[in-house]
Amino acid sequence: MASLKAAKQALRVQLKQRLASLSDLDKMKQSKAVTRKVLSHGRYRAAQRVAVFLSMPDEIQTEDLISDIFQQGKTCFIPRYRPRSNHMDMVRLRSLEEIQQLPMTSWNIRQPEEGNGREEAMSTGGLDLVLVPGLGFDKEGHRLGRGKGYYDTFFERYMQKLSGKPYTIALAFQEQLCESIPVSEHDITIDEILSARNLEEMKH
């Protein structure tokens, strides 16, 4: 277990270095390419209840996706992380404009405050699609997160409550695609990974 933790930590350091070397222009180009893939994806088109993350600078930028979710009349959910825990809820975002009014967390992510009566996805019918962030991914669908376990524990709770998990698509820069990710039995596998290039074109 300790060696798994060390392997994950070493890979996180490596991936953060790779991401740090990406130019803003490159991140923007890749984000646009991934956004196009999501918008034309059958799972996205069919989904009515979509969860998406508010992107940090080193993640695929999701603002255009969020904008489209509202344009298409879908219901948008975003993560609300509980600090000093691994608990995350997916809560409803009411409009694209609302993002700017959300308070900023210590990680520089905007998120809704606790206890303001927001609709919570799991108790109002679940989700059709979850667009997932992460630091690294491999073609088996294994994901390396930032080490807090928010998504893994969310999906665990979801499966217990709603018997089955929503379809998951990870959004990745090419630099986040790895040969293999060290995983434990608690790590949830992602159904599909979209990057600017196809996984088959991954450089070995």
Q: Is 146 annotated as a binding residue?
A: yes
| pLDDT reading at 21 higher than 70 | yes
Q: Is 117 annotated as a binding residue?
A: no
Output the pTM of the full model: 0.93
C-alpha 50/C-alpha 75 separation (Å) is 6
Q: Is 144 annotated as a binding residue?
A: yes
C-alpha 3/C-alpha 15 separation (Å) is 18
In a domain, 141, yes or no: yes
Are the C-beta atoms of residues 174 and 196 closer than 8 Å to each other?
A: yes
In a domain, 19, yes or no: yes
Are the C-beta atoms of residues 92 and 76 closer than 8 Å to each other?
A: yes
DSSP 8-state secondary structure symbol assigned to residue 35: H
In a domain, 204, yes or no: no
Q: Is 37 annotated as a binding residue?
A: no
Q: Is 148 annotated as a binding residue?
A: yes
What's the confidence (pLDDT) of residue 198? 61
pLDDT (average), residues 186-193: 91
In a domain, 37, yes or no: yes
In a domain, 195, yes or no: yes
In a domain, 94, yes or no: yes
pLDDT tens column, 35-50: 999 999 999 999 999 9
Are the C-beta atoms of residues 86 and 148 closer than 8 Å to each other?
A: yes
Length of the chain: 204
Q: Is 9 annotated as a binding residue?
A: yes
C-alpha 144/C-alpha 156 separation (Å) is 16
| pLDDT reading at 93 higher than 70 | yes
**Strand pairing of 49-51 and 129-132?**
parallel
Segments forming the whole domain that contains residue 20: 2-199
More confident site: 201 or 67? 67
Please report, for the domain that includes residue 90, its CATH number.
3.40.50.10420
Q: Is 8 annotated as a binding residue?
A: yes
199 exposure class (CB count in 10 Å sphere: 0-12, 13-18, 19+): middle
Q: Is 145 annotated as a binding residue?
A: yes
In a domain, 159, yes or no: yes
Count of domains forming the chain: 1
pLDDT tens column, 166-175: 999 999 999 9
What's the confidence (pLDDT) of residue 185? 82
Please give the span between the terminal C-alpha atoms of the chain, in angstroms, as a whole number.
28
pLDDT tens column, 121-142: 999 999 999 999 999 999 999 9
Q: What is the dihedral of CA 109, 121, 134, 106, to 10 degrees?
A: 20
Q: Is 149 annotated as a binding residue?
A: yes
Are the C-beta atoms of residues 157 and 134 closer than 8 Å to each other?
A: no
Residues 6+ apart with CB under 8 A from 200: none
Are the C-beta atoms of residues 105 and 171 closer than 8 Å to each other?
A: no
- Which phi and psi (to 5°) does residue 110 adopt? -80, 135
